[in-house]
Structure 1
Amino acid sequence: MVLETILAINWSSVGLKAAQLLLSLSILVVLHEFGHYITAKWFKCRVEKFYLFFDPWFSIFKKKVGETEYGIGWLPLGGYVKISGMIDESMDKEQMKQPPQPWEFRSKPAWQRLIIMLGGVTVNVLLAFVIYAMILFVWGEDKIPNKSVKDGVWITDSLMYQIGLRDGDKIMGVNNDTIHYFDDVPKKILFSKGGTINIERDGKPQDIKIPVQLVGDLITKKKSKGKLFLFRMPPIIGKFDKKDTSNAAKAKLQYRDKIEKVDSTPVQFFDQVVAYNDRHRNAVVNFTVNRNGNLLNVPVQIDSNGLTGAPFLTPMEYDSLGVIKVEHTSYSFLASFPAGVKATFTSLKDYIDQFKLILSPETGAYKGVGGFKGMASVFSGTGWDWQRFWEMTAMFSIILAFMNLLPIPALDGGHVVFTLGEMITGRKPSEKFLEYAQIVGFVILMALMLYANGNDWFGWGKGK
C-alpha cells in the first residue's frame, strides 16, 4: 500500500510543493527566532547560537560572528537560538550548574524574560500582518457577493449531496445568519458543528441539517481535496494550456465554445454536462457547441473517471458574461495596512475555530490533523504561484504564533506560563523542575509530530 502510494505520486509536483514549503518555513523560522534574538540582545543577554533547522551531531553551515554562532542544521524541524543561562532545546545542564552571570537569561528580571519569550510570537504576528497588507496592495482582493450567485450552487462533493443539498440550491445563510460573500459559505458550514444551512430551492425557503460529524466524514471519505461546491455556471469552455493533452483538447474544443447539447440532451449548466459524462465513462459523446454563432458537432472521448479535462472560465470571465458578480477591491499602500490588520485577525479567528473543532471529538476533525505532507499540499503543484505562496506563508505564520503560545513546556507558551506564575507568586520555579518540564514538553511535541505526519501518510486517525 505504501509502495503504491509512492509510485502514484507526481514527483515533479511534489518537488515544487516541497520547495515552496521549505522556503516558507525557512522564512518563518528565521524571523521567529530573530524575535527571540533581538529581544535577548536588547536586554543584554548573550546569544550563543542562532540556527535555522536543528543540528544534532553536525551542521551544514556555521560561522561565528562575535559571541554568536550562526548556522544551518540538517534536520528541518524548526530552528533555535541558544541564549546563555536558559533551559531550552540544548538542555545544557553543565552551564546551569555554574553561578548565574549578568549576561545570562536566568539573571534577568521576570518581565524581561517574558518579553524575550514573546519575541518570536510577536514577530510572527507582525510578519503575517505585513504579508497580508502587501498581498492586498499588489493583488487586491476578489470576492463574490452571495446574492449574485443567482443560479445557485453546483454540488461537487458527494457528502454535500448526502446531507440534502442539490444542484441549483441557493445558500442564503447558516444558522439563520446571512452570508454576504459566497467565498465564506464553506467555512461557515464546516465551523457550524451541527447547525443548519438555510437555502432557497425552487423559490421556497428550506433548512438542511448539518451533521455534527460532517468534518470528520469529509476527511474520512473524501477522495480529493476539491471544493464542496461551486457556483452554478453555463458550460462554456475556458482557456487551454499550450501543453494540454486532455481529451477535450484532443477533440479540438476551443476557448469560449458553449455546449448546447450532449448527444441529444440539452444542457444549461456544467453540472448537467458532468453528470451526463459520468454515466458514459469510456465512451465517445457528441457535444453540440455554439462557436461564434455556429452550431458544431464535436465528438469527445470520456475517460474512465467520467471526465474530458475541459477547463472552466475564470470567475472574472463569468463576471464579464453577467453570470456572477466579482467585487474587486484595490488598495493603496496606506490603505493596505488597516486591511492587513483585519486579514490577520480574520485568519487567526479562523484557525482558532479550526482548533476548537479538533478539540471536539464528536466532530471527527482530529482525523484531519496533518504534518509536512498536508502543509505542502496547500501550495501550487503546477507552477510557482507567488500570491498563493505568500497567502500560505502568512497563514502558517499565524498558526506558528498560535501553536507556540500553547501552554506546553518546550514551547514559548510553556515558558510564558512559568514566568507569569513567577511574576504573580514571586516564586521562581527551580531549575530542576524546568529541566524535567522541558523533557516532558519535548516528548509531547514529538508524539504530536509523529501522529500528525503518520496521519498524513497512513491515515492513522481516519479509520477504515
Structure 2
Amino acid sequence: MEILIKASQFILSLSLLIVLHELGHFIPAKLFKTRVEKFYLFFDYKFSLFKKKVGETVYGIGWIPLGGYVKISGMIDESMDTEQMKQPAQPWEFRSKPAWQRLIIMLGGVFVNFVLGIFIYICLMWAYGEKYLPNENLKDGIWVQDSLATKLGLQTGDKIISVDGEKVKKFSDLSLEFINGNKYEIERNGEVISKEIPEDFISQLMDRGKDAGPFLFPRYPFAIAEISEDSPNKNADLKSKDIVTAINGNKITYFDEAQAELDKYKNEEITVTVKRGNETKEVSLKVTNQGKIGVALGALSFDDMQKLGYYDLATIEYSFAAAIPAGFEKSWKTLTDYVKQLKKIFNPNTGAYKGLGGFISIGSIFPEEWSAQTFWNITAFLSIMLGFMNLLPIPALDGGHVVFTLWEMITGKKPGDKFLEYAQVAGFIILIALLLFANGNDVIRLFK
C-alpha cells in the first residue's frame, strides 16, 4: 500500500510538471500563430492510451512515461519529422517565425517550471510558515554516532559554525551543506577549528547504503521506548517515554552521556532517576557485563524536545506579502544547491555520480503517507530541477535549441536543417545514455 501511495504521488507530480512545461511552449506558439500538431503527456511511440483532436491539435496521453512533448510544425524535435522539413516553409511553421519569437517559444517551458516552483514555495510559506531547529540553538553541540562523521573529524559536543565560510541557519540543512561544501569550521571546547571535507565525501556517504540515515544528529535525551524481552530489567518500573535524568545521582542530560556512566557499573545494581510527565521517580536497575540495561532508545520529535526544554525551535509565520520574498529566497537556494551538486557529479573524484538516480530514486523521496505540504515541497523542487535541466545546452533539450537560436541572432546565420537533425540525434543519444546510467544506478542499489 505504501508503494502505491508513493507511486501515485510521483505520477501526479510528474504529470503536473510535464503538462505545465509543455503548456509553456504551447501558449507562445499559439500567440505567434504557429501550428501545434500534438500536445502529449508521455510519449506515444506506435500508439496512444488516449487521444482526441481539437481544432488543428491532437491532445493525448502516451504509454512511455519518460516526459511529454508538443509537436510544433516546422521544428526539428522529438518527432524527428524530417519529411515535413523537406517541404517549402509555410507561414504557420516554427521555422518561418522570427528568431526572437522562436526563442520565446523554446524558453516558455523552462519559464513555467521556474515560475511554478517559485509560486509553490510562496504558497507553502504563506500556508505553513517555517518551523525548524536553528543550528545555533544546539548549545551543547552535535551527537556523533556515525563512523562517517568520525572520519570527518567530528566529535560529540562539537558546534558546527559554518560550511565554506557561510553560517548554516537550519540544523536540517547541515547534511546538504556538507555534500555541497569543501571545508567547515567547528567550535570545540571554546576553540575554533577549520577542517577540510574530503573530496570523496559523497562517495563515502553513498557507500553507507540507502537505509543508513543521516550522519549528523542533535544530542537527544535518554528517552525509553521499551524494555527488551531478554532485559534483566524487564520487570522494573519503567515505562515508554520515561526520560533518564540521572544515574546513581550523576546528572544525565543526553543519551550519549549515559554509556560512560553505565560502563562504571558493569554487573552491578544502580539507581536511575527518570522523569515521567511531571513526576520524578527513582528506579533500581541491573547493569549487564556489557554496560547495558536492556532498553531501546525512544525517538522524540523536535516538538517533544522543545516541550522538555532541550531545544528552542524557530517558528515563522508569513503574511502573503512576506511569503513572496521568502518563496523567492527558498527557490534560489534550491537552484544553487542543485547546481553545486551537479558540478560535483561531473567530477569523478567526488563519487557523486553514484548518487545519480532515475525514476525509482525520484519516486522514493515521496512519503509513504499523504502529506500535502511534503507533496508540494517535492513538486516545487522537481519543477526547479526540471527547469534547470532543460536549460542545459544539450541538443534535444530546450537549452540546445536556445543555443542555436541565440547563435543565429548573434551571427545572422541560421544553422542548416541537416545540422539540426544530426544535433538532435546526438542529443538523444546523450539523454538516453544518462537515463540508462541513472536508472541503472537505481537497479544496482535495489540489488544491493
Q: Which residue of 2 aligns with 1:101?
A: 90
Q: Which residue of 2 aligns with 1:257?
A: 242
What is the alpha-carbon distance in structure 2 between the residues aligned to residue 399 and residue 311 of structure 1?
Answer: 36
What is the alpha-carbon distance in structure 2 between the residues aligned to residue 436 and residue 36 of structure 1?
Answer: 23
Note closer, same or farther for the CA distance 1:19–1:203 as it changes in structure 2 (3 Å cut): same
Q: Decide which moves more: 54-63 or 408-417.
A: 54-63
**Residue 136 of structure 1 is aligned with which of 125, 131, 141?**
125
Q: Which residue of 2 aligns with 1:174?
A: 163
The reply on whether 1:44 has 2:33 as its aligned counterpart is yes
Q: Which residue of 2 aligns with 1:5?
A: none
The reply on whether 1:390 has 2:364 as its aligned counterpart is no
Conservation of the 8 A alpha-carbon contact between 2:224 and 2:296: no
Quick one: which amino acid aligns to residue 113 of structure 2? N
Q: Secondary structure at the match of 2:11?
A: helix
Q: After the TM superposition, which residues 274-423 of structure 1 pair with which residues of structure 2 at under 5 Å, given as runs?
A: 289-291=274-276, 292-296=279-283, 311-381=298-368, 383-423=369-409
**Residue 269 of structure 1 is aligned with which of 240, 249, 254?**
254
Conservation of the 8 A alpha-carbon contact between 1:32 and 1:123: yes
Kindly provide the CA deviation profile for residues 106-164 of structure 1, in whole angstroms up to 9, marking residues without a partner as x: 11001000000000000000000110011111110123222210121112432111222
Q: Which residue of 1 aligns with 2:433?
A: 447
Q: How large is the RMSD of aligned CA atoms in angstroms?
A: 3.3
Conservation of the 8 A alpha-carbon contact between 1:288 and 1:296: yes
Conservation of the 8 A alpha-carbon contact between 1:29 and 1:78: yes
Larger radius of gyration: 2
Q: Which residue of 2 aligns with 1:428?
A: 414
Shift of 1:329: 0.7
Conservation of the 8 A alpha-carbon contact between 2:74 and 2:84: yes
What is the alpha-carbon distance in structure 2 between the residues aligned to residue 219 and residue 447 of structure 1?
Answer: 22
Identity over the aligned pairs, expressed in percent?
Answer: 51
What is the alpha-carbon distance in structure 1 between the residues aligned to residue 420 and residue 260 of structure 2?
Answer: 61
Gaps of 5+ in 1: 1-11, 278-285, 301-305
Q: Decide which moves more: 309-318 or 98-107.
A: 309-318
The reply on whether 1:155 has 2:140 as its aligned counterpart is no
Q: TM-score, normalised by structure 1?
A: 0.84
What is the alpha-carbon distance in structure 2 between the residues aligned to residue 45 and residue 232 of structure 1?
Answer: 61
What is the alpha-carbon distance in structure 1 between the residues aligned to residue 73 and residue 259 of structure 2?
Answer: 64
Note closer, same or farther for the CA distance 1:395–1:206 as it changes in structure 2 (3 Å cut): same
Q: Which residue of 2 aligns with 1:215?
A: 202
The reply on whether 1:236 has 2:238 as its aligned counterpart is no
Shift of 1:246: 12
What is the alpha-carbon distance in structure 1 between the residues aligned to residue 230 and residue 295 of structure 2?
Answer: 5
Conservation of the 8 A alpha-carbon contact between 2:21 and 2:109: yes
Note closer, same or farther for the CA distance 1:384–1:310 as it changes in structure 2 (3 Å cut): farther
Conservation of the 8 A alpha-carbon contact between 2:272 and 2:282: no
Gaps of 5+ in 2: 263-270, 288-292
What is the alpha-carbon distance in structure 2 between the residues aligned to residue 254 and residue 363 of structure 1?
Answer: 46
What is the alpha-carbon distance in structure 2 between the residues aligned to residue 273 and residue 99 of structure 1?
Answer: 82
Q: Which residue of 1 aligns with 2:268?
A: none
What is the alpha-carbon distance in structure 1 between the residues aligned to residue 436 and residue 314 of structure 2?
Answer: 43
What is the alpha-carbon distance in structure 1 between the residues aligned to residue 425 and residue 166 of structure 2?
Answer: 46
Note closer, same or farther for the CA distance 1:388–1:421 as it changes in structure 2 (3 Å cut): same
Note closer, same or farther for the CA distance 1:298–1:60 as it changes in structure 2 (3 Å cut): farther
Q: Secondary structure at the match of 1:57?
A: coil
What is the alpha-carbon distance in structure 1 between the residues aligned to residue 36 and residue 363 of structure 2?
Answer: 32
Q: TM-score, normalised by structure 2?
A: 0.87
Conservation of the 8 A alpha-carbon contact between 1:152 and 1:170: yes
Quick one: which amino acid aligns to residue 119 of structure 1? G
